Amino acid sequence: MCDLYLFKTEENHKVDIIKLKMENDRENPQGGVVREIKNPFFAVKKYSDFDKPSPKYGKPVEMGSYSLDINKKFIDSDVGLRYYIQPPNLQKVYFDLNHGFETRHIKERGRDINILYWIKGHMGTEEASERLDADFVTQRGLLTKLMLTPYVENENEGWYIAVTLFNGTYYLNEVESDEKKERERKTVDDIESCRGWKFEQYLTADTSNGKPNTDIPYNNCEGFYKVVKSKLKNHSLVFSGEIDAVKVDEVKGNSYVEFKTTKEIRMGQRYLRNFQRYKTKHWWVQSYLTGTKEIVCGFKDKNGIVNRVHTFKRADMLIIAKDAREPWKPNVCFNYLDLFLSTVKSKITHDDYRIVYTLKWNPHKPVMISPPLRDSEFNFLPEWYVAWKQTAEGARVHVSP
């Protein structure tokens, strides 16, 4: 038995969702919380440790942008920017997300250092309006993983991070573990994993008045990224995040949108629960970090066909999640990130671009830190970046004897 409800946000924006009675849905919310053991990087005993007033997260400020080409090569321009082309009737579409799967162009992600190219080209030069002045430099995807850690239940959703302190800034980069590489290799041949990229193709064009072309091979290589600066409590952040498309509005002004797909929640209780408990928190965190306010969602059936599209306000994710049993909370996410960043600052103090510390976490286990690793396979700051930064900023670099 189910009832259709309408939820309203402060902006009086309506959200349609099927609400199903979910008796006995009392899953343990502590699955992803690290437990206390002897000498971990840090340990938290229980979920409630994070459920306290949230540290302030400053309004994200866009510093610039860059693109990646079909070979995932850095381009210092917005050539990769796509424009959102809204269908005439969002409730009556036919998007076959299987179309073109055989001709897809998919590459493994690999190590992401593209933000370093952007920093070199735009900060610390004579023409630059400002220099790099950040506690942390990283990618949005990594910050998202950290913020979702308290709620992780899947054994495959741990993380492995390399950290280097160089000239007062902590650089964080995800380690390409063998397990992660194997999962990405499987993604290339998994049609379900590729359907999201096809969905974007149905809704975007190269120009604001163009038409989507779904006959060309889709890929996960080309993209448009914006570089953002913000602050969480006393931690200044500079990071990059992919932007799916820009929505042109001559009255309200242009804005960025995220594209997402999910199983049609009308198919049953399990799909609704997944949407409320998992999708909403991931979409909200990802969008909130970069200041994206709209999420365009395609609801797909079991055959990978989208028959309706819904535009959610970012705030809608909170409204929908509140209706679930033991809903996730934004303050928990931000408090965990604050704890992580504070611990990095307090325990990693060796300022040397040749030294890397690795932090590894798996669900139900503590966060573990490696000893300092010098000139190892985990080093990710390129020599050209180090040399440029030394010259551009005239900084004294600390190198171990």
Mind listing the pLDDT tens digit for each residue in 275-314?
A: 998 999 999 999 999 999 999 999 999 999 999 999 999 9
Q: 70: Cβ–Cβ under 8 A, 6 or more apart, which residues?
A: 105, 219, 221, 222
Instruction: Check whether 63 has a pLDDT greater than 90.
Output: yes
- pLDDT computed for residue 28 by the predictor: 33
CA pair distance 183, 157, nearest whole angstrom: 11
Tell me the HSE value of 148 on the side-chain side, using a 13 A CA sphere.
Answer: 24
Dihedral sign of CA atoms 237, 240, 242, 245 in order: positive
Q: Which pLDDT tens digit goes with each residue over 314-355?
A: 999 999 998 887 889 999 999 999 999 999 999 999 999 999
pTM for the model:
0.87
Terminal C-alpha separation, the chain: 70
- Token pair 């049953």 is found at 268
CA pair distance 345, 339, nearest whole angstrom: 10
- pLDDT computed for residue 3 by the predictor: 31
Write 170-173 long-range contacts (CB < 8 A, 24+).
Answer: 170/135, 170/136, 170/137, 170/344, 170/345, 170/348, 171/136, 171/137, 171/138, 171/380, 171/381, 172/136, 172/137, 172/138, 172/142, 173/111, 173/112, 173/113, 173/138, 173/139, 173/142, 173/380
Compute the mean pLDDT over every residue in the chain, rounded to the nearest whole number. Answer: 85
Query: Which residue intervals of 88-230 are DSSP H helices?
Result: 114-122, 140-148, 178-188, 191-203
75 φ/ψ angles, rounded to the nearest 5 degrees: -130, 125
CA pair distance 340, 166, nearest whole angstrom: 18
CB 303 within 8 Å of CB 95: no
Q: What share of the chain is helix, strand, coil (3-state, %, to 5)?
A: 30, 30, 45
Q: Which pLDDT tens digit goes with each residue over 243-277?
A: 999 999 999 999 999 999 999 987 667 888 889 98
Of 14, 27, 112, 57, the residue nearest 330 (C-alpha):
57
Burial bucket for residue 377 (CB in 10 Å: 0-12, 13-18, 19+): exposed
Instruction: Check whether 20 has a pLDDT greater than 70.
Output: no
CB 77 within 8 Å of CB 69: no
Instruction: Check whether 110 has a pLDDT greater than 80.
Output: no
Instruction: Check whether 33 has a pLDDT greater than 70.
Output: no
Triad 277, 280, 286: Cα angle to 5°: 130
3 state DSSP class of 341: helix
3 state DSSP class of 87: coil
- pLDDT computed for residue 385 by the predictor: 96
- pLDDT computed for residue 237 by the predictor: 98
Pairing mode of beta strands 255-263, 294-300: parallel
More reliable by pLDDT, 275 or 22: 275
231 φ/ψ angles, rounded to the nearest 5 degrees: -150, 130
Model confidence at 100, in pLDDT bands (50, 70, 90)? very high
